[in-house]
Structure 1
Amino acid sequence: MINVHCPFCRNPDSRVIDSRTADDGLSIRRRRECPNCHRRFSTLETASLVVVKRSGATEPFSRQKIINGVGKACQGRPVTEDQLALLGAQVEEKVRSSGSSQIDAHDIGLAILEPLKALDLVAYLRFASVYSNYDSIDDFERAIADLRQDPDVPVASESPDFSKPQS
């Protein structure tokens, strides 16, 4: 059990009066009372999540790092900051729902791919090419063929025919 110090009198003890899930669903908001000064205060508690990188090194999970990485794949695409923030929240929720305090970087990449595919197919291919370490045009062609076979991916109503000269 963790002792929470009173922010007013620094007493190392407090009593929980009420606990609720925060609006984001990822943390717990607790209302506490100090038995010494009887003042009330709130705490927001979030389980720490550690990312295990390919090298074996660890670092704290960062939603902002997800948003920045996906943002690079979305450069020049019609994707808003709000959409990136929502994608970051979706990925964090999925990763935290595993219940584990550690997650592989590989699993985070997988958690990014599905919502990114729904957001923007070009950004999805860009991200997938780095994440999956595409080495050749064949890798891109396979990924595009997989997208075309995916029933959830919208098909363009009319694709331009580049084989004919443009007038």
Structure 2
Amino acid sequence: MKCPYCGFAQDRVVDSRESKEADSIRRRRECERCNKRFTTYERLDEIPYMVVKKDGRREKFERQKVLSGLLHACEKRPVSASKLEALVDETEAFLVDSPERERTTTEIGELLMDRLKTIDTVAYIRFASVYRDFKDVREFKEELEQLLNSRSQR
């Protein structure tokens, strides 16, 4: 395991814990060069869950890819990393519950947008603008109006 801070390959395990769901092991590690600590997760390697893209291609589900998109949407917003991690966990559970071991990007995107809407509306709009690929300002304005209307009806 390489240190994410200095790239050194030697570290020591400080603490190991099984996750609550017992599907992964969380390890706290300390770099032997810079002494910084970082966390790794070990998961059982199994048949991958697949995501069906809009053009019909199938791609392996990647937690990090989903988390990266959420982090971009929530940049400079008051959304904790634990909320984003929980959202990614929920998304992965949604995929795991599929009998075919696959879901469409549309289903996953809608789930993420529904949850983001309740967490942070600015992050929701940012995520929606990329996910829905707004072509012009009019589409962006329509999405904002729908959001404002749903809020005023509550």
Partner of 2:128: 128
SS of residue matched to 1:118: helix
CA deviation string 1:142-167 (max 9, x = no partner): 1111112225987xxxxxxxxxxxxx
Any gaps of 5 or more consecutive residues in structure 2? 1-18, 24-42
- When residues 76 and 53 of structure 1 are mapped into structure 2, their CA distance, relative to the original with a 3 A threshold, is same
Q: Distance in 1 between matches of 2:82 and 2:129?
A: 24
CA deviation string 1:27-64 (max 9, x = no partner): 6xxxxxxxxxxxxxxx9686631112233332211222
The aligned amino acid for 1:73 is: A
Partner of 1:37: none
Q: Distance in 1 between matches of 2:147 and 2:21?
A: 32
Where does structure 1 differ by over 6 angstroms across 4 or more consecutive aligned residues? none
- Number of residues paired by the alignment? 118
The aligned amino acid for 2:56 is: G
Q: Distance in 1 between matches of 2:153 and 2:86?
A: 20
Any gaps of 5 or more consecutive residues in structure 1? 1-21, 28-42, 155-167
Q: Distance in 1 between matches of 2:47 and 2:68?
A: 22
1:1-150 → structure 2 map (5 Å cutoff): 23-24=20-21, 48-150=48-150
- When residues 118 and 24 of structure 1 are mapped into structure 2, their CA distance, relative to the original with a 3 A threshold, is farther
What's the TM-score once normalised by structure 2's chain length? 0.64
The aligned amino acid for 1:71 is: L
The structure that has the greater radius of gyration is 1
Q: Let me know the Cα RMSD of the aligned residues.
A: 2.8
Partner of 1:8: none
8 Å contact 1:147–1:153 — kept in the other structure? Answer: no
Identity %: 31
What's the TM-score once normalised by structure 1's chain length? 0.60
Q: Which has more strand, going by share of residues?
A: 2
- When residues 92 and 151 of structure 1 are mapped into structure 2, their CA distance, relative to the original with a 3 A threshold, is same
The aligned amino acid for 1:72 is: H
- When residues 23 and 100 of structure 1 are mapped into structure 2, their CA distance, relative to the original with a 3 A threshold, is farther
- When residues 76 and 46 of structure 1 are mapped into structure 2, their CA distance, relative to the original with a 3 A threshold, is same
Q: Distance in 1 between matches of 2:152 and 2:107?
A: 22
8 Å contact 2:95–2:102 — kept in the other structure? Answer: no
- Structure 1 residue 113: Cα displacement: 0.8
